[in-house]
Amino acid sequence: MSATTDYRKREESITLTSEPAGERQELLTLNMGPHHPATHGVLRLLVTLEGEIVRDLKPIIGYVHTGIEKTCEDKSYWKVIPCVERMDYVSYYFNAMAFCGAVETLLGIEVPPRAQYLRVIHLELNRIASHMVWLGTGALDLGAVSMFWYCFRERENILDLFEMSSGQRMHTRYFQVGGVFEDIPTGFAAKLRTFLDRMPTRADQFADLMEKNEIVLRRLRDVCPLDEKTLLGLGVTGPLLRAAGNPWDLRKAQPYSSYDHFDFKIPVGTVGDNYDRYRVRHAELYESVKIIEQALEGLPEGDHITSDRKVALPPRHELATSMEALIHHFKLVTEGFRVPPGEIYYPIEGPRGELGCFVRADGSAKPARVHMRDPSFSNLMAFAPMVKDGYIADLIATIAMLDPILGGIDR
Amino acid sequence: MPSGPPARAETRPVPDATGLELIAQALQEANADSVLGTAFFRDRAVIIANPPDVHEVLGRLKDQGYDFLASLHGVDYYPEEPRLGVLYELLDMKEVDRISVKARVHTDAPRIASVVDLWPGADHPEREVYDMFGVVFEGHPDLRRILMPEDYEGFPQRRDFPVGGEPVLFTYNEDSPYGKSQ
């Protein structure tokens, strides 16, 4: 059987239509993807259309499944960090935070306050960078090409800051179990302040570009709303849920990494349409800037990583003078640290919602199971109810405002 | 503006060990066989449910306020028996409580009731657990593979599934598997 004739046969289990068409109706099944022009990742949609109206939609995922969770089971704990960072490749700091937080809870170790603040700075910078990717590619989906360049210009500045603190622009491996890899270098704070001073103005400009454009407004306002109850049933969290008026944010509800030290607001929407989804994320840009400003201002002195030598590498200079440090270093880089048996689920608030990391330790130096509850995975389930009985053009606008990252969905 | 780092905020262990026992006891009173045990580790409360009764247990917990299914995932406890575990992470948004429910099934008959009727959002996670571990969710409306190709054989997240050495199939070589013939 050739590949082309076998094409439908392999997918015949997929029901293409939701309900049988009436006598005078004609339903058309349209395949969208598996490629997407913007950088959401590789998503494929089977859309059942009646004229221009979407009657049913089935997302087909798995095109960028690389078995990262399986790979993690074969790596020692500190080598898992770069693996999980590559799941949702736009919000890598969050993946690392969820995993490190889970392992720290299993180990029962305390993270020094300075490390917690440095984590907050990088997490919120990453949130802005992630929202910049969303706004840029989202506007690109709506046909506004210039927004993409403006947003990526700001994102570049954030990546420059990441490069300064960790040496890498993406997938930085900056967060370690017990703290962060290195203290921030000289000049980082000044450069960060310059960025923070500029960012609110830039966000104002983005708002002007979007909200003073009649076409954008008409494509977003009252388009594909979904109520709070349905969203909760589908497990949707993050800006999509907040757009429908539910102020659920784990940074406030279950503060981790010193988030309770900072004064910030949770933007919420009212009706939960595409415009609210856009407004909530846009308002979060300002709140993230406020959090970073406070964290930078109140940055405590002290260690940037735990002094527990069984978990964190000893400082380089100690290796020349201390035999004990040398042994710790050797044990850590060859075997890694062992984690007592147990299971933990550690949720944090990612840019797209609740990002939970489940880790099962069996007492060895490698995790027995790592699972990421990625918000995009759950949020994608809300896509079909959102766009049902809407226009196909609104489907594109909705996927732009849904902000799915297929790397996180497929893992 | 914080003046120096205050002491770490008291994270409430919710429900605490006593609260967990009370919840488990209430569940046992309703159905004596439904709860096999409890576990409390690092402030994480787990109810170990009897697999045939897991739907009932989750339904009761949902009525008690744990009405948000935050996560549903599978674990392979190889070589322990029963090997496969299905974990439900429940959340009570009003009280900010979390509780986990765990049900373990054997690999020879990995069947468990679907909770899609309680939470529509269990749809994709249950398909993922089926795809990766081979747990069959009875009553799921559309149980098929989600991340792996439809014609894939085996359940890759099981601990005895080997890493690597697997032929990569594309449409051009699907009739002549990798390494066998050109």
- Which chain A residues have a beta carbon less than 8 Å from that of B9? 255, 260
pLDDT in tens, A210-237: 889 888 898 898 888 898 999 999 999 9
Q: Are A210 and A147 in contact (CB under 8 A)?
A: yes
Which pLDDT does position A282 carry in this prediction?
A: 93
Q: Are A47 and A392 in contact (CB under 8 A)?
A: yes
Q: Is B9 a residue whose pLDDT tops 80?
A: no
Q: What is the pTM of this model?
A: 0.89
Give the amino acid at A388: K
- Cα gap A209→A33, rounded to integer Å: 29
A105, A110, A298 member nearest B2 (Cβ): A298
Q: How far is A147 from chain B (nearest CA, A)?
A: 33
pLDDT in tens, A271-300: 889 999 999 999 999 999 999 999 999 999
What kind and span of H or E run contains B138? strand B136-138
B1, B42, B151 member nearest A10 (Cβ): B151
Which pLDDT does position A263 carry in this prediction?
A: 92
- State both tokens at A121: 């700075």
A344 touches chain B (CB under 8 A): yes
- Which chain A residues have a beta carbon less than 8 Å from that of B74? 371
The proportion of chain B whose per-residue pLDDT surpasses 70, expressed as a percent, equals: 82
Which pLDDT does position B102 carry in this prediction?
A: 92
DSSP state string for A235-249? T--THHHHHTT----
Expressed in percent and rounded to 5, the helix, strand and coil fractions of chain A are 50, 10, 40
pLDDT in tens, A179-200: 998 899 999 999 999 999 999 9
A300, A343, A368 member nearest B4 (Cβ): A300
- Which chain B residues have a beta carbon less than 8 Å from that of A108? 42
Who wins on pLDDT, A354 or A309? A354
Which pLDDT does position A242 carry in this prediction?
A: 92
**pLDDT classification of B161: cutoffs 50, 70, 90:** confident
Which pLDDT does position B69 carry in this prediction?
A: 92
Average pLDDT score over residue span A89-106: 92
A389 touches chain B (CB under 8 A): no
pLDDT in tens, A8-39: 565 666 665 555 556 556 778 888 877 765 55
The Cα angle at residue A173 between residues A171 and A175, in degrees rounded to 5: 125
CA quadruple B103, B108, B113, B119: dihedral positive or negative?
A: positive
Q: Are A64 and A374 in contact (CB under 8 A)?
A: no
Contact A235 B146 (CB under 8 A): no
Which residue in chain A has the smallest CA separation from B161?
A70
Which pLDDT does position B165 carry in this prediction?
A: 55
Q: What is the pLDDT of chain B when averaged over all its residues?
A: 82
Bridge partners (DSSP) listed for residue A50: A53
Expressed in percent and rounded to 5, the helix, strand and coil fractions of chain B are 25, 25, 50
Q: How far is A388 from chain B (nearest CA, A)?
A: 16
**How would you class A385 by CB atoms within 10 Å of its CB: exposed for 0-12, middle for 13-18, buried for 19 or more?**
middle
Q: What is the pLDDT of chain A when averaged over all its residues?
A: 88
Sheet strands (E) in A323-402 = 342-350, 353-361, 367-373
Q: Are A354 and A377 in contact (CB under 8 A)?
A: no
* Nearest CA among A246, A249, A305 for reference residue A115: A305
Who wins on pLDDT, A1 or A272? A272
pLDDT in tens, B87-105: 999 998 888 888 999 999 9
Give the least confident one: A2-11, A127-136, B47-56: A2-11
Which pLDDT does position A6 carry in this prediction?
A: 57
pLDDT in tens, A38-86: 556 788 888 888 888 888 888 888 888 888 999 999 899 989 999 999 9
B123, B151, B161 member nearest A381 (Cβ): B123
Q: Is B30 a residue whose pLDDT tops 90?
A: no
Average pLDDT score over residue span A201-215: 91
Q: How far is A317 from chain B (nearest CA, A)?
A: 29
Average pLDDT score over residue span A370-394: 91
- State both tokens at B100: 């986990």
Which pLDDT does position A4 carry in this prediction?
A: 46
CA quadruple A29, A34, A37, A39: dihedral positive or negative?
A: positive
Q: Is A154 a residue whose pLDDT tops 60?
A: yes
A6, A297, A347 member nearest B1 (Cβ): A297
Average pLDDT score over residue span B97-122: 91
Which pLDDT does position A1 carry in this prediction?
A: 43
Which pLDDT does position B4 carry in this prediction?
A: 42
